[in-house]
Amino acid sequence: MSSSSGTTRVVVVGHGMVGSRFADDLHARDAERRFHVTVLGAEEYEPYNRVLLSEVVAGKLDVASLSLPRSVRERTSVLPGTSAVAIDRAEQVVVDSAGCTYPYDVVVLATGARARVPELEGLGSPDDEAALPAGVHALRTLDDAREIVAATVNARTAVVVGAGVLGLEVACGLAHRGLDVTVVHGGPSLMDRQLDGDAGAVVTGELGRLGIGVRLAARTQEVLVRGGRLEGVRLEGGERLDADLLVLTAGTVPEVGLAQRAGLDVARGVVVGPDLAAPADPRVFAIGDCAEPPEGGTGLIAQGWDQARRLALLLTGQRDEPADADPDAAPGPVGAPLPQGGTDVVRVKAVGLDVVSMGVSGTRRGTDAGHRSVRLTDPVGGRHVEVVVADGRVVGATCVGAGQVAADLVAAYTRATPAPSDPAQLLLRPVGGAPEPAASPTLMPDRTTVCRCNGVTKGEIVACWRHGADTVEDVARETRATTGCGGCTDVVCGLLDWLGTTDPDRARAREPRRAVGDVLGEVEEPARARG
């Protein structure tokens, strides 16, 4: 795919999180300096972290913290504020809105997705976000986030339409800012793309705890606008919710116009094969939210970044190994395999709400008889955990309010590590063994190590006492206990106190003092003898 000069001209359309990441990945792997990359970015901004826009809304993050690494590198030119309008596949050029052409050997579509604006009475044209009435916002771009933040200054009540991940994050964020928030969701339960009814109910309860109202199976009929300004929404059935801020989080629509106009196969997104290439044209690739790979697009950044990495490997003809891998090793297949574990982890980032979903759980759970599902539902405790195990590993999980359990399950799911034979063990963190009863010398077994630094057991200290040691200093001299870090001094004191109380007759019975080696040598050491 290279031009006659031996270099390969790559045009990347889109300078968002995935487009910029791809340019970096390709540059990092281009050891032969073969690729000349041009990145066309429609926005004037440098690439920024779209995933964190809801954190900006929540007031947890400064806008400056969103900027992502710039693709300012050798053999890479980034042209912000440049909108591609056409791909001439016959001529192999991309054309921008000013009529400039960019010749390519490979074109990579990373145009992303835009917010879906539902068709609602009072909203105007759904295709024109700019035409939304004052007080109504989608949340997809940095400008959207800035406008919402600006609007919160005067707003008291907010309605969030659409309770997917973003909707819940925005709702919690606005509530965190002190707004009175109601979530309107058309589905039967919150986050119903991922969560089943039980899990959704727990989330509803959690939102209630945060003071957020929830309307389920509720369709917004009309956006109430007076004098160009939002007043509220009317739901089907007639309920009216007053609001001076309306945020539409009703999903996204892949940006496929360019591909469509170029005659490429488009379904929901730009159709690509496992190699991320359009079936109709091996010079055209699509990655990120605009793409529709065989496994389906998840809308998650992890998938887009993984595609960026895989495409960089594919174009440079490398295997999926770190840059310093042994060059003498037998060559493997070119191109990176899909990860063996799951990549579709959905995680709500919200103040006061902890929801994680992955794989075939909740509403995505199939009917496969080999899938074993266990669950723990604790609505009052604000907790719901479901784990699905197949072939000895976690293939799906839903976690609400599960903390570290969720983090453990993500690690197990994404890495395909072996699950315990009883999957119910995964519902809770394993309870640690009882700590060694340092404060209870009576219960401590003789083989318990009291002084780790010097490997001294309780049994040895008892023996030492029997041979006349009275004080910590005596014990230290005889056994060296307490002479490392000193951390066991309390325990040794406790042991001596205990011995003094329980063994008052020692004075009569005790044996003459002997050297430390003799004492150590005669003590039974069951703990030490074990491997």
Partner 1 sequence: MVALPAVAAPRASDDARGTVTHCPYCALQCAMSLTPTAGADASAGPPAPGTDPVPPLTVQGRDFPTNRGGLCQKGWTSASVLRTGDRLTTPWVRVRGELRPATWDDALDLVAGKLRALAAEHGPQSVAVFGGGGLTNEKAYALGKFARTVLRTPNIDYNGRFCMASAAAGANRTLGVDRGLPFPLEDVGGAQAVLLLGSNLAETMPPSLQHLAGVRAAGGLVVVDPRRSATAELTADGQGLHVQPVPGTDLVVLLALAHVVLAEGLADTAYLERRTTGLDDLRRCVAAWWPERAEQVSGVPATTLRAVARLLAAASPSRGGAGAYVLTGRGVEQSSQGTATVTAAIDVALLLGLPGRTGSGYGAITGQGNGQGGREHGQKADQLPGYRSIEDDAARAHVAAVWGVDPADLPRSGLPAVELLRRLGTPGGPRALLVHGSNVVVSAPDADRLRERIAALELLVVCDVVPSETALLADVILPVTQWAEEEGTMTSLEGRVIRRRKAIEPPPGVRSELDVLADLAARLGSTVHFGTDPAEVFDELARASAGGRADYSGLSHARLDAEPDLFWPCPATPAGTNPHPGTKRLFTRDFPTPDGRARLVPVDHVGPADDLRPGAPLYLITGRVLAHYQSGAQTRRVPALVRTSPGPYVEVHPLLAERLGVEDGTPVHLETARGGLVARTRVTDAVRADTVFMPFHWSGQGSVNRLTNDATDPVSGMPEFKVCAVQVTRWDGPWDGFEPVDAGLEPVAAGVRGDGGAHAPGTAGA
Among positions 422-481, residues that touch partner 1 (CB under 8 A) are: 422, 425, 430, 432-433, 435, 452-455, 472-474, 476-477, 480
Query: Closest approach of Cβ 295 to partner 1, in Å?
Result: 18
Opening angle at CA 58, ends 57 and 62, nearest 5: 70
Let me know the angle formed at the C-alpha of 274 by 306 and 268, rounded to the nearest 5 degrees: 85
**203 near partner 1, judged by CB under 8 A:** no
Selected from 420, 437, 445, 500, the binder of partner 1 by CB under 8 A is 420
Q: How far apart are CA 434 and CA 12, in angstroms?
A: 58
Enumerate residues 501-520 that contact partner 1 by CB under 8 A. 520
Site residues for partner 1, 39-98, by CB under 8 A, read 48-49, 51-52, 55, 60-62, 64-70
Residue 280 half-sphere exposure toward CB, CA atoms < 13 A? 12
Q: What is the rounded CA–CA span in Å between residue 435 and residue 439?
A: 10
Q: How near is the Cβ of 404 to partner 1 at its closest, in Å?
A: 5
The answer to whether 417 contacts partner 1 (rule: CB under 8 A) is yes
Query: How near is the Cβ of 430 to partner 1 at its closest, in Å?
Result: 6
> Please, what is the Cα angle at 496 between 492 and 499, to 5 degrees?
135
Q: Does 500 bind partner 1 (CB under 8 A)?
A: no
Structure tokens at 307: 């595609």
Report, in Å, the least distance between residue 277 CB and partner 1.
26
Which residue blocks in 30-133 are alpha helix, DSSP H?
53-57
List the interface residues with partner 1, window 243-262 (CB under 8 A).
none
Closer residue to partner 1 (CB): 130 or 434: 434
Binder of partner 1 out of 23, 195, 247, 345 (CB under 8 A): 345
Terminal C-alpha separation, the chain: 61
Query: Among 130, 324, 380, 504, which residue sits at the site for partner 1 (rule: CB under 8 A)?
Result: 324
Q: Does the protein bind partner 1 through residue 530 (CB under 8 A)?
A: yes
Q: State how far the Cα of 500 lies from the Cα of 494, in Å rounded to an integer.
A: 10
- Establish if 332 lies at the interface with partner 1 (CB under 8 A): no
| Residue of 431, 455, 427 lying closest to 528 (CA atoms) | 455
In the window 127-166, what residues touch partner 1 (CB under 8 A)?
A: none
> Is the CB of 150 or the CB of 411 nearer to partner 1?
411
Indicate the SS3 state at residue 233: strand
Nearest to 48 by CA among 72, 19, 73: 19
Report the amino acid identity of residue 531.
G
DSSP for 311-361 reads: HHHHHHT--SS-TTS-TTSPP--SSPPPPSS----EE--BTTB-EEEEES-
Q: Name the minimum Å distance from CB 3 to partner 1.
A: 31
Q: Which is nearer to partner 1, 242 or 446 (CB)?
A: 446
Select 2 or 417, whichever has its Cβ closest to partner 1: 417
Single out the residue of 182, 31, 170, 50 nearest to residue 110, CA to CA: 50
Least separation, in Å, of the C-beta of 485 and partner 1? 4
Q: Work out which of 32, 378, 490, 522 binds partner 1, going by CB under 8 A.
A: 490
Interatomic CA distance for residues 455 and 448, integer angstroms: 10
Q: Of 347, 383, 384, 467, which lies in the binding site for partner 1, with binding defined by CB under 8 A?
A: 347
Q: Cβ of residue 4: shortest distance to partner 1, in angstroms?
A: 34
Which of 228, 327, 370, 531 touches partner 1 (CB under 8 A)? 531
- Count the site residues for partner 1 by CB under 8 A: 77
Closest distance between partner 1 and the C-beta of residue 519, in Å? Answer: 13
| Alpha-carbon gap, residue 452 to 434, rounded angstroms | 18
- Give the C-alpha separation, 123 to 133, whole Å: 7
Select from 111, 194, 357, 482 the one that contacts partner 1 (CB under 8 A).
Answer: 482
Q: Which stretch binds partner 1 (CB under 8 A): 73-81, 202-210, 377-385, 400-408?
A: 400-408
Out of 1, 100, 411, 439, name the contact with partner 1 by CB under 8 A.
411
Nearer to partner 1, 512 or 531 (CB): 531
Classify residue 149 by its DSSP letter: H
Selected range binding partner 1 among 112-120, 172-180, 287-295, 410-418, rule: CB under 8 A: 410-418
Residue 126 or 494 with smaller CB distance to partner 1: 494
Q: Which string of DSSP letters, residue by residue, matches 486-508?
A: -TTHHHHHHHHHHHHHH-TTHHH
Residues 274-303 that bind partner 1 (CB under 8 A): 301-302
Among 418, 437, 445, 526, interactor with partner 1 by CB under 8 A:
418
DSSP 418-438: BPPSSGGGGGSPPPPPPPP-T
Tell whether residue 33 is a contact of partner 1 (CB under 8 A).
Answer: no
Q: Is 528 in the site for partner 1 (CB under 8 A)?
A: yes
| Segment interacting with partner 1 (CB under 8 A) among 98-106, 173-181, 379-387, 523-531 | 523-531
Q: Is 322 in the site for partner 1 (CB under 8 A)?
A: yes
Footprint of partner 1 on 377-396 (CB under 8 A) = 392-393
Q: Which of 253, 483, 510, 514 binds partner 1 (CB under 8 A)?
A: 483
Annotate 364-398 with b (16+ C-beta within 10 A) or e (fewer): bbeeeeebebebbeebeebbbbbbbbbeebbbbbb
> For the chain, how many residues are written?
531
